[in-house]
Structure 1
Amino acid sequence: MSRNPRPQRRGRREGKENHDRWLITYADLITLLLIFFVVMYAMSRLDVEKYDIVTQSLQLTFSNGDSLIEKGTGVLGSEDRHAFKNPPTDSAGQGEQGPGQGGPNGQNAKSPSGQPERDGGDSSQKPLTDRELAFRKQEEELQNLMGLIEAYVKENQLEDQIRVADLPKGISITLSDRFLFDQGKAALKPDSAKTLTKLASLFRRLDTMISIEGHTDNVPIGRGFDFKDNWELSGERALSVLRFFLDREKLDPEDFQYAGYADTRPAADNATAAGRQKNRRVEITVLRQLQQ
């Protein structure tokens, strides 16, 4: 008697299910989180100088405006268009004033005509701090300085050699290298002394930091010149202007800083001759920065 044949297998055994596929999603999530934190860190790096300027400006703005909650004129100085008054304490609306109808501050008091009137005095405004007063004074000085330099440039027809601009960091005075130096040199031309002396007389009245920066185009320095590269040239040119202010005009060295940036901060396109000429310059910036 024969045995029953063994039943045939039904094809291949199904493969085992992979239970580690979640690792792919987890790895993607971790990668995205890493990118997110890298971006957040990059955005969190602050320009300390600009941060101080913005902070001082905001402090000055918000300290000058009286609060809208106290029925003031607000930060923008506009009149409050809404009347938030408590009802009169008596039926006739006269007599003793309630908490919202005058009180110690005299706000919303009634005129003889019966209409509410605002206190025209500045008693509700807080007095400015010494630093805020100094910041306001410095801003007035910077604007006056810019006007004087612009008038001097126009009077002496130096528009193609000297440019003045009001930048967030301060008043920028850009002097062309043709006005200050010979090609590839860092010694000041004699003709530039008159203008630098005028600037020194204006700087002497200020109480702020002055930055002097040398810049070049991207053309390498050839043989036969006194400098190794554009870094040395830009630094020596800035130093020549600084020494003029210190040695000849006797200004305070603590009020100055200088640097050479070669061709790393171009003001125009180095692909053209006109652009390269604009890049060869010395920038003197009177900073919006209060001295301690």
Structure 2
Amino acid sequence: MARKRKAKSESHQSSERWLITYADLITLLMIFFVIMYAMSKVDVAKYETLAKALQVQFADGPSIIPKGTGIMGEAIPKESRTTGDTEQQRQQETVKPNESVQAEQEKKEQDLQNLLKVVQEYIAEHQLDGQVSASDTPRGIAITLNDLFLFDLGKAELKQAAYPVLEKLASLFPKLSTKVSIEGHTDNLPLATGSLYQDNWGLSQARSVSVIRYFVNSAKLPQDTFISSAYADTKPVAPNDSEADRQKNRRVEIVVLRSGSPQ
């Protein structure tokens, strides 16, 4: 009878051993999910705190998360983190200048379009069609003034009638952050005998300089804003086969440049 009771007791103990294994499994799963949660936060300081807490909790056995090893592997070296931060900072610093340049270019273009609008409105208001025109070209905003509007035939001294237009333009230039090319053009006819200028090159250069002198001396604009160019008859806008077309070629162009070069 005693043997039967002993067998029954051993059977009962064996049937309850799985509970111990199950409890260990649940404990390990809990630890695993706690570690995974900590990893998702990617916080090295909290990770190290958790590891120490677990080591204290399970001090009777080997450390579940040995220092420097474990599920997460080695902690990210401070030097590596610093290098990554530095690289990210460099990229951000590169983006900022690019954005600044783009914003500056957009502002410059908007200023040019505003200039074109103001000049065209001024031309219409003062009925200057045929004498003054303004257009948007690849190089910039080109303001074309007929030579007879500015000068007497074969001469380079400005007429009094040209001053109001030049004064209006002078009031607009300080708002711009770009160069202004003043370009003299002539037709292909030779100068009259006794002219002050040797040829059309000399005349076109003198006319360009006269306009610049007005802006610098009378309007008090900075000299380095302007570029003087002389083209004589090399850049006609019409054939030089009639007086009407030759009149179109005799002109001064004031080009507010998109870039720093008149070309």
TM-score class, shorter-chain normalisation, is 0.5 to 0.7
Taking CA–CA contacts closer than 8 Å with sequence separation of 6 or more, which of the two structures ends up with the larger relative contact order? Answer: 2
Among 123, 133, 139, the residue aligned to 1:153: 123
Q: Deviations over 1:193-227 (max 9, x none)?
A: 11100000001111101000000000000112211
Residue deviations 1:35-87 (CA, integer Å, cap 9, x gap): xxxxxxxxxxxxxxxxxxxxxxxxxxxxxxxxxxxxxxxxxxxxxxxxxxxxx
SS in 2 for 1:289: coil
The separation in 2 between residues aligned to 1:259 and 1:137, in whole angstroms, is 27
Please state whether the residue corresponding to 2:175 is helix, strand or coil: coil
Determine the C-alpha separation between the residues in 2 that align with 1:248 and 1:272. Answer: 36
3-state SS in 1 of match to 2:252: strand
Distance of 1:195 and 1:268 partners within structure 2: 24
Offset of 1:126 from its aligned partner? Answer: 8.7
SS of the residue corresponding to residue 136 of structure 1 reads helix
State how far apart, in whole Å, the 1-side matches of 2:202 and 2:96 are: 52
Shift of 1:273: 1.1
Distance, in Å, in 2 between the alignment partners of 1:228 and 1:271 is 23
Q: Distance in 2 between matches of 1:219 and 1:194?
A: 30
TM-score, normalising length: structure 1: 0.55
Unaligned runs of 5+ in 2: 1-94
Give how far 1:259 is off. 1.1
Q: Indicate the residue corresponding to 1:215 in structure 2.
A: 185
1:216 and 1:262 in contact (8 A); partners too: yes
Runs of 5+ unmatched residues, structure 1: 1-124
Aligned to 1:175: 145
2:29 aligned partner? none
Match of 1:282 in 2: 252
Count the aligned residue pairs: 167
Of 237, 241, 246, 1:271 maps to 241
| Distance verdict in 2 for CA 1:126–1:134, change over 3 Å | closer
Correspondence 1:81-100 to 2 at 5 A: none
User: Which structure is higher in helix share?
Assistant: 2
Please give the alpha-carbon distance, in whole angstroms, between the structure 1 residues aligned to 2:214 and 2:242. 32
SS at match of 2:105: helix
Query: 1:12-37 CA deviation, whole Å, 9 max, x = no partner?
Result: xxxxxxxxxxxxxxxxxxxxxxxxxx
One-letter code of the match for 1:287?
L
The one-letter amino acid paired with 2:193 is: R
Letter aligned with residue 222 of structure 1: A
Of 215, 227, 238 in structure 2, the residue corresponding to residue 245 of structure 1 is 215
Q: What's the offset of the Cα at 1:140? A: 0.5
Give the residue type in structure 2 aligned to 1:223. T
List structure 1 segments (4+ residues) > 2 angstroms apart after TM superposition: 125-128
In structure 1, what is the Cα distance between the partners aligned to 2:235 and 2:107? 31
Once the two structures are superposed, what CA deviation does each residue of 1:72-119 show, in whole Å capped at 9, x if it has no partner? xxxxxxxxxxxxxxxxxxxxxxxxxxxxxxxxxxxxxxxxxxxxxxxx
Q: What percent identity do the matched residue pairs reach?
A: 49
Whole-angstrom distance in 2 between the partners of 1:127 and 1:163: 37
Q: For the pair shown, which has the larger CA radius of gyration, 1 or 2?
A: 2
Deviation at 1:127, TM superposition (A): 9.0
Pairwise CA RMSD of aligned residues? 1.7
**Contact 1:175–1:281 (8 Å) recurs in 2:** yes
- 1:1-292 equivalence runs, <5 A: 129-289=99-259
The answer (yes or no) to whether the contact 1:238–1:258 under 8 Å persists in 2 is: yes
d(CA) in 1 for partners of 2:174 and 2:219?
9
- Report the 3-state secondary structure (helix = DSSP H, G, I; strand = E; otherwise coil) of the residue aligned with 1:164: strand
Question: Which secondary structure state, in structure 2, belongs to the residue aligned with residue 259 of structure 1?
Answer: strand
